[in-house]
Structure 1
Amino acid sequence: MSRVFGEVAALYDDIRLGYPGELLETLVAYHGGVPAPVADVGAGTGKATELLLELGVPVIAVEPDPRMAAVLAQKFPGVETVTAAFEEWTPPPGGVGLISCATAWHWFDPRTRVQRVRAALQPRGTLAIFHHRHGYADPVQQRTIDAIHQAIDPAQTVDDRPVDWARTDLEHSGLFTDIEVHEWHWHPVFSTEQYLRLLQTFSTFRLRSPAAQRRTVTGLSAAIDGWGGSLRMDIHTVLVVGRAAA
């Protein structure tokens, strides 16, 4: 499952949104300065890596899919790119000051992910788990799009987890303290073509049959064209941070 995006690595890198600069400012303030070194685990094509490079410290990017890792390495030759699953990665001696996990925490083994992250961090190091929730600014459009997906794939369920669901992992582990949640909303506008390209990078879409994918594209294309050929998104960015217990 964690390698499903490699089939569209270039498209993923081109159309997926990065992360707001305010997120990095929040991380530095929370950490109490610039952490070093930094590891971006489940790094994909480097959407979060690009933001972390603004810290001006060594960055390690860990990504299991070689196709995604190749895009990242080409874009950022100064980054130490490790093509391996997070569970197979060996952190540097002494650990890292910050571990960033962007839109990947759910791909890691829930039985061991918190313990592995804690073991890879320096004492009092920071863990930052963040992701986007892709919603729609207009509630009518939101309901229409949900209905199109449900009609084609009745088994697909709406993500009803709390937006800060990763917080529970850290709280229950006893391995992290000072846990905080930060949120941002932003509203980019996508044309029909842009949105359909974005759609092709979602795992829920990629795991459908080719016929179901075609029906999804046809239904969404008609809906967005009917709204004037553009769609105003509601991108909800959620950051959960915790400090490694001493």
Structure 2
Amino acid sequence: MTRVFGEVAAIYDEARQGYPDEALGAVTAFHGGRPASVADVGAGTGKATELLLRLGVPVTAVEPDPRMAAVLTKKFPQVEVANAAFEEWTPPPGGVGLLACATAWHWMDERSRERLARAALLPRGTLAIFHNSHGYAVPRQQDTVDAILQAIDPTPSIDDRQVDWARVGIERSGLFTDVEVHQWHRFPVLSKEQYLRLLSTFSNFRNHSARDQRAAVTNLGAAIDGWGGAVEMDILTVLVLARAA
């Protein structure tokens, strides 16, 4: 599943939301200024890399899918790209000042991700785990979308977990201190075409047969038409920050 998004890398880059400016301010304040270097693990097409580059320090993007990495490289040629899984990546000697992971922490090995993150960081370095949770500002739209998607996949998605789920593993590991959680809401309005392109990048949609996908698209398209052709999203960005012990 860590490579499923490469099949739609260009659509993913176009359709997925980035991260709010406030997140960068929270990272910088927590770290106590700009880190000396940054690693963006599970970087995808660079949705968080774009934000992290504004720190003005060297950024290494770690991404296992070459198709996703190719989009990132085209957008940000100044970024060093390591085409590897986080679990297989060798951090620079001494570690990095900031290790970030954006909407990919749940794809990392649960048995080792905190340990690997701590090993990749300088002493007192910062771990920053971002994720965007896709909700809906209008309750009836939320209920309808949930029903249509659950018809093809009743398995709870990442968006169904408690919003700060990453905090639990970080605190339990005993490898980090000073854990903080920040949240921001954004409310973009998407046209039917924009929403269906976004849907095509969700793993709980892509992991199903073409027949199931067509059924979901047909039913969602009809529902959106009934809402006047638009979906009112509620994108919740959650940022978990922690300091290497």
TM superposition score normalised by structure 1: 0.97
Match of residue 36 from structure 1? 36
* Conserved 8 A contact 1:149-1:156: no
- Tell me if 1:105 matches 2:115: no
Segments of structure 2 that go 5 or more residues without pairing to the other structure are none
Give yes or no for the alignment of 1:115 onto 2:115.
yes
For 1:3 and 1:107, the matched residues in 2 are separated by 10
SS in 2 for 1:47: coil
1:156 has 2:130 as partner: no
Does 2:159 align with 1:183? no
* Displacement of 1:152: 3.2
Q: What is the alpha-carbon distance in structure 2 between the residues aligned to residue 104 and residue 147 of structure 1?
A: 25
Cα drift, residue 36 of structure 1: 1.6
Aligned mates of 1:227, 1:124 — CA distance in 2:
50
Residue aligning to 1:232: 232
Give the distance between the partners of 1:152 and 1:20, measured in 2 at CA. Answer: 32
CA displacement, residues 15-35 of structure 1 (integer Å, 9 cap, x when unaligned) = 111100000001000100001
Alpha-carbon distance in 1 for matches of 2:156, 2:41: 27
**Any runs of at least 4 consecutive aligned residues in structure 1 with deviations exceeding 4 A, and if so which?**
none
- 1:77 is the counterpart of 2:77: yes
Q: Is the 8 A contact 1:101 1:128 kept in 2?
A: yes
SS in structure 1 of the partner of residue 48 of structure 2: helix
| Equivalence for 1:215 | 215
Q: In structure 2, what residue type is equivalent to 1:157?
A: P
Equivalent residue number for residue 124 of structure 2: 124
**Which residue in 2 is equivalent to 1:139?**
139
Structure 1 gap ranges (5+): none
Supply the AA of the counterpart residue of 2:86. Answer: F
Deviation at 1:150, TM superposition (A): 2.1
Matched to 1:56, the amino acid is: G
Q: Residues 113, 225 of structure 1: CA spacing in aligned structure 2 closer, same or farther, 3 A cutoff?
A: same
Post-superposition CA distance 1:59-115 (Å, at most 9, x none): 000000010011111111100001000011111111100000000001111111100
- Cα deviation per residue 1:183-218 (whole Å; 9 max; x = unaligned)? 001100000000000000000010010000000000
Residues 57, 13 of structure 1: alpha-carbon distance in 2 compared, 3 angstrom cutoff: same
TM-score normalised by L of structure 2: 0.98
Q: Is the 8 A contact 1:37 1:57 kept in 2?
A: yes
Q: Indicate if the aligned counterparts of 2:134 and 2:234 stay in contact, CA closer than 8 A.
A: yes
In structure 2, distance between residues paired with 1:45 and 1:235: 19
Q: Do 1:38 and 1:57's aligned partners in 2 also have CA atoms closer than 8 Å? A: yes
Give distance in 2, aligned partners of 1:216 and 1:140. Answer: 17
Q: Match for 2:187: what amino acid?
A: H
Q: How many residues align?
A: 244
